[in-house]
Amino acid sequence: MRARWKVAGAAALTGVLAATGCGGGGGDGGGNTQVEVFSWWTGGGEEAGLNALIEKFQEDNPDIEFVNAAVAGGSGTNAQAVLEGRLQSQDPPDSFQGHAGAELQDYIEAGYLQPLDDFYDEHGLREAYPEQLIDQISYDGSIYSVPVNVHRSNVLWYNPSVLDEAGVDGAPETLDEFIDDLRTIEEETDVIPLAVGAQWTVDHLLESVLLGELGVEAYNALWEPGADWSTPEVQTALERFDEILQYSQEESASEDWQEASKRVVDGEAAFNIMGDWAAGYFVNDLGMTEGEDFAWAPSPGTDGAYMWLSDSFTLPEGAPNQEAALTWLELVSSQEGQDIFNPLKGSIPARTDGDPARYADSQYLTEAMEQWKSDELAGSFWHGVTVNNRWKSDIDTALGLYLQDGDLDTLQGALDSAAQA
């Protein structure tokens, strides 16, 4: 396998644990009521969006202390490890973030979550959310989480000035064009053709390449129980993935998605494939201008396909401040709450009645709201829609071994085994 780009002096993330409180103490039984909300929103537009929700919650509920128990890093993997320990120790937060879909299945089967059917009925949420989203967050006929947004995973972010310098005419539409452009950028400039970060960002890249090579129907079929990953079509997709990855710098456990995305707007890299939370980060945190400092397109080969994920909040069994937790869920499920949060987060509302005017300042979000209604839908595996935690972990392990030895045959065999387990 050809040596990939190397970048020295990667800056380490500061503060892996960004929690302002652990444990649920000070509950409804005495003193000031509090609500402890657990998430992994600690950087970029996601943190700005969470802080705006917290401000609104405290404004509406001055008698409830908000405890922001957020854990940084790994697209939620660090937070999920901490959360699992707390749930096993019967020390749940009052509400915790989880990706809507199969990711929550393990928590439900372990008895960690309360069903929210009555909450949905009381607040008219079955009519407020799209039917497909309701189906994805239901398990055995009950609903266990409250989505606050919809994100798109398959977005190619790029620096227009870097592409101009290399003589590349706009974003590539196919994987063949993408590989050609990466090669051109390597030959004509001194920048990194494709920026990646920690290993999870390479998992994220993999799902977009699979979708771009296989198409929506075949991609979605990969996540059916017992799916066949040994086919020549999957082999070709993995070969494309391998070739694309040669044009990236070494992935680094010390660099999360923000560092990889920032390389694009800083002119250090031409491309980055990342979810659309990057839009909020570019504009709200870095002060960048759409269409000038950065531009975007569907990841190569995926035009007309919307690879989606949704952040949601839950009500754990044994939540020490259940009434306060339900008050939090009322805010995140409301039109007002979602229209406060999503323009900052760089996502669109999970509800169908979001106010388009709130998103009009962002060309990206305006486009995303329309494409969500018209594109074919594919669920993100890395972000919890299509696979449970065991399957996701098996894929991540297989990818980690591939990044060490570059053996594509072993990678494909391990991915096929993971689907059969």
- Any idea where the domains of the chain sit in the sequence? 33-149+312-365, 155-301+388-420
| Residue 371: CA count within 13 A, CB half-sphere | 24
- What pLDDT does 83 receive? 95
CB 237 within 8 A of CB 213: yes
Residue 4: per-residue pLDDT: 55
CB 112 within 8 A of CB 89: no
The Cα–Cα gap between 44 and 25 comes to: 29
State the Cα torsion 223-301-363-159 to the nearest 10°.
Answer: 120
* Residue 398, both tokens: 């297989």
Which pLDDT score, from 0 to 100, does residue 18 have?
Answer: 33
Helix H or strand E segment including 165: helix 160-166
pTM, 2 dp: 0.83
The class (CATH top level) of 33-149+312-365 is alpha beta
The reported pLDDT for the residue numbered 7 is: 44
Report residues of the chain scoring pLDDT below 70. 1-31, 73-75
CATH numeric code, 155-301+388-420: 3.40.190.10
The neighbouring-strand residues paired with 377 are 306
- Is 155-301+388-420 in the same CATH topology as 33-149+312-365? yes
Cβ proximity of 97 and 313 under 8 Å: yes
